[in-house]
């Protein structure tokens, strides 16, 4: 196998990348609007035509693809306690590359059932209780789900002593049920990989067909995973490396999209300060969070709400009135490009604040507490202060000017001293927008994928 085509069916763009495995290099990339509303193959054909114009006609030995088209993999999860099994369920869903629409805790109500019916998730993750612990809640929630007419597969990953009964309740109601290991078998112990594997298998077996990707899948070697899961795989490979090719070590990444901002961290995030103790669940090494309210177009108003419209105006250098006017325009017309000086200034401000808000939410936080033996610190989430690599990606950033300034939002800010963001980091830009492609390639040729990422990620030096 010499040349491979890697395809990402995105919600907005279908992106293609060609790789030569023998020479271990990127041959070229191209993108075209995703046409899931009509025939997804149309967008793919246009992207391939653009790629062919760049690199010539190529007979690929294999074609691999990922997808977030038509809204991606939409999930709802449910657990017992918000800070414990419900949070573990959310981690499992996000780590599998899903878009989490809702997380419920405790027993589902009639109103919850009506909301689930209306939201129509692709998959429901049912958790609750440690093994041998509380069974009543997960069993009651299984009965509520059994009464919902909407057809969606249900992954049961809760108390093993109740899992079999849950399966029986749901299967008798005609539901597709997959039972796997508990996401929290013991108090405070995470076990999210089995649930993530089930979610991805369902994506391959069922969601591809539901999203209209069946015909496209006949043209390729396999749609392997949701796009965010592919990016997560690329990030983990880049951080850890392989047996023969070293990785970069702990890192963070921010992917600013039109509707959401995804943030990734590859780090254990253990406390670096003295007298610091962990509060809440242990964090997974490979972590993804999604800020569904901040994005460059569909969620531009969310950036203004999260950071303050005054902050957007100040950073852009525009008047408050002009800022509000342009925000209204790009929110209504989401394909607006930054073709004027004012729009370019606004996009700079939005991108900078999306990176800052997204990273601040993703990072761990500390608070000072007083104990009988003196001051101590409670840490919730990951301590990322010592992380030395930060990757910036997203269609809106590829052509942005002043990447260094935009990327500073990744870093620790004394004004938000409780947020444990990196104190200094080398800024790397995914200029060719290849991370999802390299995540796909990592499943087959990890050494090559890693070498290509090292070559293609553009360094902007150390930011402090």
How big is the chain by its Cα radius of gyration, in Å? 22
**Rounded to an integer, what distance in angstroms lies between the CA atom of residue 148 and that of residue 152?**
10
pLDDT for position 187: 83
What's the pLDDT at 213? 59
Tokens of 373: 């033996």
| Distance, CA of 115 to CA of 94 (rounded, Å) | 21
**Location of structure tokens 């999860």:** 77
DSSP secondary structure of 273-298: STTEEEESSPPPSEEEEEETT--SST
Contact 177, 125 (CB under 8 A): no
Cβ contact 117:148 at 8 Å: yes
9 close to 36: Cβ distance less than 8 angstroms? yes
- Cβ atoms of 448 and 24 within 8 Å: the answer is yes
Listed residue (169, 122, 104, 117) closest to 142, CA to CA: 169
Question: Structural domains in the chain?
Answer: 3-70+211-220 (3.30.420.40), 73-203 (3.40.50.360), 235-463 (no CATH)
Give the chain's residues under pLDDT 70.
1, 11, 35-39, 69-72, 96-97, 204-223, 461, 463-464
Pairwise CA distance, residues 72 & 207, whole Å: 9
Q: What pLDDT sits at residue 446?
A: 95
pLDDT of residue 367: 87
Which pLDDT value is given to residue 214? 56
Question: What's the rounded Cα separation, in Å, for the pair 407 and 429?
Answer: 9
The pLDDT score that the predictor gives to residue 209 is 59
Q: Write down the H helix ranges in 153-284.
A: 160-172, 193-202, 208-210, 214-218, 227-240
The tokens of 177 are what? 């049920």
From CA 456, how far away is CA 234, in angstroms rounded?
Answer: 13
**Whole-prediction pTM value?**
0.82
Task: Note whether 273 and 420 are within 8 A (CB).
Answer: no
Q: How confident is the model at residue 219, as a pLDDT?
A: 59
- Cβ atoms within 10 A of the Cβ of 124, count? 25
Distance CA 282, CA 221 (A): 37
Tokens 């994005």 map to which residue? 295
**3-state SS, residue 430:** coil
């Amino acid at each position: 196998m010499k040349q491979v085509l890697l395809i990402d069916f995105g919600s907005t763009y279908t992106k293609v990348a060609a790789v030569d495995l023998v020479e271990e290099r990127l041959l070229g990339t191209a993108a075209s609007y995703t046409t899931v509303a009509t025939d997804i193959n149309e967008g793919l054909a246009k992207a391939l035509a653009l790629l062919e114009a760049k690199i010539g006609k190529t007979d690929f030995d294999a074609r691999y693809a990922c997808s977030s088209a038509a809204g991606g993999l939409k999930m709802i999860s449910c657990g017992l306690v918000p800070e414990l099994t419900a949070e573990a369920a959310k981690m499992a869903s996000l780590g599998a590359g899903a878009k989490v629409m809702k997380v419920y805790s405790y027993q589902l109500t009639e109103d919850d059932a009506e909301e689930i019916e209306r939201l129509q998730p692709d998959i429901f993750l049912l958790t609750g209780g440690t093994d041998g612990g509380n069974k009543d809640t997960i069993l009651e929630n299984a009965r509520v789900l059994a009464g919902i007419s909407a057809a969606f597969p249900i992954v049961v990953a809760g108390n093993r002593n109740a899992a079999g009964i849950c399966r029986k309740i749901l299967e008798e109601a005609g539901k597709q049920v997959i039972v796997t290991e508990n996401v929290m078998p013991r108090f405070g112990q995470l076990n999210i990989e089995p649930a993530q594997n089930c979610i991805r298998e369902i994506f391959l077996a069922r969601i591809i067909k539901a999203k209209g990707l069946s015909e496209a899948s006949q043209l390729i070697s396999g749609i392997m995973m949701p796009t965010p899961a592919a990016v997560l795989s690329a990030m983990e490979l880049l951080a850890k490396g392989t047996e023969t090719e070293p990785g970069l070590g702990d890192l963070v990444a921010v992917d600013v999209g039109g509707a959401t901002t995804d943030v990734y961290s590859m780090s254990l995030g253990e406390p670096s300060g003295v007298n610091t103790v962990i509060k809440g669940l242990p964090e997974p090494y490979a972590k993804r969070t999604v800020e569904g309210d901040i994005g460059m177009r569909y969620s531009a108003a969310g950036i203004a709400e999260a950071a303050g419209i005054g902050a957007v105006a100040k950073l852009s250098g525009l008047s408050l009135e002009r800022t509000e006017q342009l925000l209204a325009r790009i929110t209504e017309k989401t394909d607006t490009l930054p073709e004027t000086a004012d729009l370019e200034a606004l996009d700079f401000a939005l991108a900078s604040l999306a990176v800052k808000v997204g990273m601040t939410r993703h990072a761990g936080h500390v608070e000072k507490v007083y104990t009988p033996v003196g001051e101590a610190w409670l840490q919730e989430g990951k301590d990322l202060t010592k992380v030395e690599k930060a990757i910036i990606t997203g269609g809106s950033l590829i052509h942005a000017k002043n990447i260094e300034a935009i990327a500073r939002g990744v870093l620790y800010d004394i004004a938000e001293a409780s947020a444990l963001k990196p104190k200094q980091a080398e800024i790397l830009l995914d200029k060719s927008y290849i991370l999802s492609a390299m995540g796909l390639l990592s499943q087959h040729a990890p050494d090559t994928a890693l070498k290509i990422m090292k070559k293609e990620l553009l360094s902007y030096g150390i930011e402090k």
